[in-house]
Amino acid sequence: MRDALVSGLMAVDEALRQLLALARSEPFTAVEQVALRGADGRVLAEDLCAAIDLPPWANSAMDGYALRLDDLVAQPLRVSQTVFAGQAPEPLQVGTCARVFTGAPVPAGADCVQLQENCEVDAQGRVRSLDALRRGDNIRPQGNEIRARAPLLAAGTVLSPIALGVLASQGFAQLPVLRRPRVALLSSGDELAGEGAALGPGQIYDSNRVVLAALLERLGCEVIDLGCVPDDPLRLRAALTGAEGAELIISSAGVSVGDADCIGALLREDGEVKLWKLAIKPGKPFTFGHVGAVPLLGLPGNPGSALVTFLLLARPYLLARMGVERVEPLRVPVVAGFNWPKAGKRQEYLRVRLDGGRARLLENQSSSTLLSAVLGDGLLEVPAGETFEAGDVLDFIGFAGVGV
């Protein structure tokens, strides 16, 4: 075994740096083709370039009249044609204008469009412009948005509905995306029962697998649910046989060094521990190692701790293995609406709600509870060794920005 344990606790930033380096060294590489409509949330596997100019031809930005600026000296102008979106116009006759509608191709020879509300139409149907114009006014030039063969989206882009709209505008019907990573998920502990099971003496229902499976699926992972595994080394080894084909194992609980912490013992006996025990609250027992050749992220068992460490550490690790460039949660400055007079030894993540532009502390900050996360809007980051007062500005990580 090759442990990389350190005396004391590792800083969160250093742990994340090491995790991301490990992730980049073991990228997911399998690629598949999926239909455009089924690619929301998937990770693009290849750089894509534009297939066509967008717009493909100059078109009118407004309802109005397309004309030559030089012809205004001879106005009023006869309307020589009417062009709707989806039609192919004739070249503009000299000394005339064309009635055009928003999105309609501009006839060749026209160099500006006057808005219909800035025009006067006489009894003979001739048009007079009432406002000054310049060449190019109210015309969207060909390729104004995108030029054919220009870089469009880079590999590693998480495809959003808007990104899919851009690709649809280029005629893409199939997209190369990363195959869904296969992640084995288990919860460790004699006290745990799965949803729907009858509770035995001293048992509680397991919530971690439900939360983590949903978060993993939102990241586009294929989840292999290994269930609740008792604190028994033989049962744990038997459960892990069901992880065949998994590219990552995520566990909750059992990663410390107690007599019942079977996952930690397995890593130390048969595997490799690279990270263990972080200066984070909640979530100190977070562990990263390998079982054989398969990476394992060991999250703490308390639901609040498992949630925080997944969002701040496991999620960026997974995204980095998918080739995503921006993997860390977005932090925005917010004003604290409460005092924090006692400095902690670990970097702390407080569950808060936003009220009137200020962060308000949720009453129950126990690592064992999830309800405060449901009632809250995100996490307020408090650096180790620091205090603050109401009115001070701190970094805030919104749950909505990390898929919760």
Q: What is the pLDDT of residues 110-159, one digit of tens each?
A: 999 999 999 999 999 999 999 999 999 999 999 999 999 999 999 999 99
SS3 371: helix
Give the model's pLDDT for residue 258.
56
pLDDT band at 256 (very low <50, low <70, confident <90, very high): low
How far is 107 from 112, CA to CA, in rounded Å? 10
Q: Which residues pair with 114 in a beta bridge?
A: 65
Task: Give the pLDDT score at 1.
Answer: 34
3 band by pLDDT with thresholds 50, 70 and 90: very low
The one-letter code for the residue type at 100 is V
Tokens 């100190």 belong to residue? 284
pLDDT class of 236 with cuts at 50, 70, 90: confident
Residue 107: half-sphere exposure toward Cβ, Cα within 13 Å? 26
Question: At residue 18, does pLDDT exceed 80?
Answer: yes
CA distance 193 to 187: 10
At 98-122, the pLDDT tens digits run: 999 999 999 999 999 999 999 999 9
Q: Confidence class of residue 5 from pLDDT cuts 50, 70 and 90?
A: very low
Question: Given this model, what pLDDT does residue 237 score?
Answer: 85
Instruction: State which H helix or E strand residue 239 sits in.
Output: helix 233-240
387-to-10, 333, 336, 337, 392 alpha-carbon distances in Å: 21, 16, 11, 13, 10
The reply to whether omega before 55 is within 30° of 0 (cis) is: yes
* C-alpha–C-alpha distance, residues 7 and 110, integer Å: 75
Q: Which residues of 292-323 are buried (b: 16+ CB within 10 A; e: fewer)?
A: eebbbbbbbbbbbbbbbbbbbbbbbbbbbbbb
pTM: 0.88
Residue 260 has pLDDT above 60, yes or no: no
The confidence score (pLDDT) of residue 261 equals 66
